Structure 1
Amino acid sequence: MKLFAGTESSWSLRALLCMEIAGIPPDLHIFDLSHPQSRRELKRLSPTGRVPVLSDGDLIIYDSLSITEYVNEIKPGLLYSAEAALRAEERSLCAELHSGFAEIRRQMPFVASGKTVPGALSAEAEADIERIGIIFAAARGEFFRGETPGAVDAFYSVMAYRLASYGIHFPGRAGHYQNALTEWTLFRRSLSGLCPPVHPVCGP
C-alpha cells in the first residue's frame, strides 16, 4: 500500500501511526506542502487535493479517519478493541479529535520540529485543553486501553506532542499518559519519517 503524506501534516502522521500499529508499514511518499507543484500533484491523486491518501491497488482512500477504519477492517482488533462497548468509546474519541479542538488547531499550529512560540490562549482554547486533560486522565496505562497501542493513541499522541511543544504539560494521570505518548518509540520514529529532507514533490 502507498501512503501519500505531507510535511507538517498531523493528519498524515495519525494515518501513518495507525498503519504501523496494524503491522502494515506503507510505501511512504512525502509531499512538501509548501510547494505549489506538490499541491497540483495532490489534486491528481486525491479527490480533495489533501493528505493523507492511501492507495491500495485501484482503491483510493482519503481522510485520516477513513484510512483508520479501512486499516481496521483489514486487521481487526489491532486499532480498536474487540469488545463493542470499548470499541464505541475509542471510535468516539477518535472522531472527537478528528472534528474537534478547532481553537487549539487555530492558535497552536502543529510544528513537527516542536519549535514553537507559545502565546496567550483564548477561553475557547483553554476549554479544549481542559477537555483533552480529562481524556488523558481516563487512560488505563501508558496506552489508552492499557498495555497495547491503538487508534486512540495514534490520534492523541500527535495532540500530546503539539501541546507539549507549546509548554502545555498535564499533571497526574493525564500527564503520565501525555509523557508516554510523546516518548512512544513508534511515535518518534513516525514523526522522524515524515520530516526528512524532501523534494518539492515525492510522487508515486
Structure 2
Amino acid sequence: MSSLTLYIGSKNLSSWSLRPWLLLRHHGVRFKEVLIDLYRPDTRARILEHSPSGRVPALLHGTTRVWDSLAICEYAAETFALPAAWPMDPAARAYARSIAAEMHSGFADLRRELSFDATREPAPVAASAAAQADIERIGTIWREARDRFGGQGDWLCGHFGIADAMFAPVALRFAGYAVKLGKVERAYVEHVLAHPAVQQWIEAAAMEAPPPAPPAGPLVAKAADAPAAALKTAERQPTAAKPANANPAKEDEIGDDELPPVPSRSAAKGSIGDGRKGQESGPGAPARVRSVILPPD
C-alpha cells in the first residue's frame, strides 16, 4: 500500500490541521506527519512544495494529493473504509454532512475573534454580537445532534465521525476562551478534550517554540488557518483599535488578507525541534487529560 503523509501547520495555531489529523489518529490509520512551522520566512515556500493552495493541511497518498481538510477526511473515510465516518442512517448522515459543511464554510466571526490557540490558559473575552451569534448557532447544532442522533454514544451523532473532527477545534476554543455553555455543550467539550489524541495534540502544541514576534511597522500576510503567505505591505492597526480580543484572524481555507497577532505562549515548554517533524503517527497511549474549568451553565 502507498505511504500516507499528512502535512500540517503548527499545532498551537492550525485548527484546520487538527481536523484530519484527529480523524486519522482516532481510527488508528498510520501516516507520516510533517509539521511546517508557521510564521517563518520560509513557511509559504515549504507549504507550496506540498499544497497547491499554499495552505495546510495537505495529504499525499502515493500520487494522490488532497489539500482541503474536509476533502482529506472524506478521502480517508473512503480509502480506508473508516467506520461511522458518516452515520449509516440517511437522515443522520445528511445532518452530519450539513453541519460539517457549515463548520467548514461558516462561523467567520467566531474564528476571527476567538482565534485558535491550543495551549491558551482559559480566560473569557468580550465577543461581538456576530461572534456570539456563531457561538449560539454552534450550541444549537450540538444540542440538536445529540438529541436527534446521539443516542448510541457520546459524539454528535453517537459514534465519532467527520462532523466531530470538524468541530473538535471549536471545543478547544470554547475551553480556551471560557465560553459560557449549557449542560449538553459542556459535556461535549469535556468529551472532546478527554480524547487521547486531542490530549496528545495539546501536549505537542505546548512543546512548540513560540513563533517569532512580527517586526514593527506595516505588516500583513495572507492568512487562512495557516498564515502561510509571504508578508506584504499594509498598515497594522493599533491594538487598542481592534475589537473584542484584538485578534482579527479569520482561520479559513477560503482565505483572508490579515495576519493574526502572534499568540502568547505562557504554557510553552520548549521546542519540538526538527526531530519531531516527519514522525510516524498512529494509535498511542492515552495522554494526561488537560485540566480545564468551564464556566457554569
TM-score by length of 2: 0.63
Q: Which has the larger radius of gyration?
A: 2
Letter in 2 for 1:64: S
Tell me if structure 2 keeps the 8 A contact 1:170–1:178: no
CA distance in 2, matches of 1:120, 1:49: 32
Which consecutive residues of structure 1, in runs of 5 or more, have no partner in the other structure?
none
Secondary structure of the residue that 1:80 maps to in structure 2?
Answer: coil
Alpha-carbon distance, 1:203 to partner: 6.6
State the partner residue of 1:3.
6
| Aligned-CA RMSD value | 2.1
Letter in 1 for 2:130: E
Q: Which moved more, 1:43-52 or 1:77-86?
A: 77-86
Q: Which moved more, 1:37-46 or 1:17-26?
A: 17-26
Q: How many residues align?
A: 203
Tell whether 2:167 aligns with 1:168: no
Alpha-carbon distance, 1:195 to partner: 5.4
Letter in 1 for 2:102: E
Choose which of 140, 143, 155 in structure 1 pairs with 2:155: 143
Alpha-carbon distance, 1:116 to partner: 6.2
Tell whether 2:89 aligns with 1:83: yes
State the partner residue of 1:184.
195
Tell me if structure 2 keeps the 8 A contact 1:115–1:165: yes
Choose which of 69, 81, 92 in structure 1 pairs with 2:98: 92
Runs of 4+ in 1 over 4 A off after TM superposition: 193-196, 199-204
Quickly say closer, same or farther: Cα 1:98–1:14, change in 2 above 3 A: same
CA distance in 2, matches of 1:175, 1:186: 19
Letter in 1 for 2:6: L
Secondary structure of the residue that 1:36 maps to in structure 2?
Answer: coil
State the partner residue of 2:112.
106
Identity of counterpart residues, as a percentage?
34
Task: Report Cα offsets for 1:123-167 as digits up to 9, x if no partner.
Answer: 110100101111222322421122x31111111121011111011
In the TM superposition, 1:49-88 aligns within 5 A as 49-74=54-79, 75-88=81-94
Task: Report Cα offsets for 1:41-83 as digits up to 9, x if no partner.
Answer: 1112110111000000111101101101101112153311122
Alpha-carbon distance, 1:110 to partner: 0.3
State the partner residue of 1:159.
170
Which consecutive residues of structure 2, in runs of 5 or more, have no partner in the other structure?
208-270, 280-297
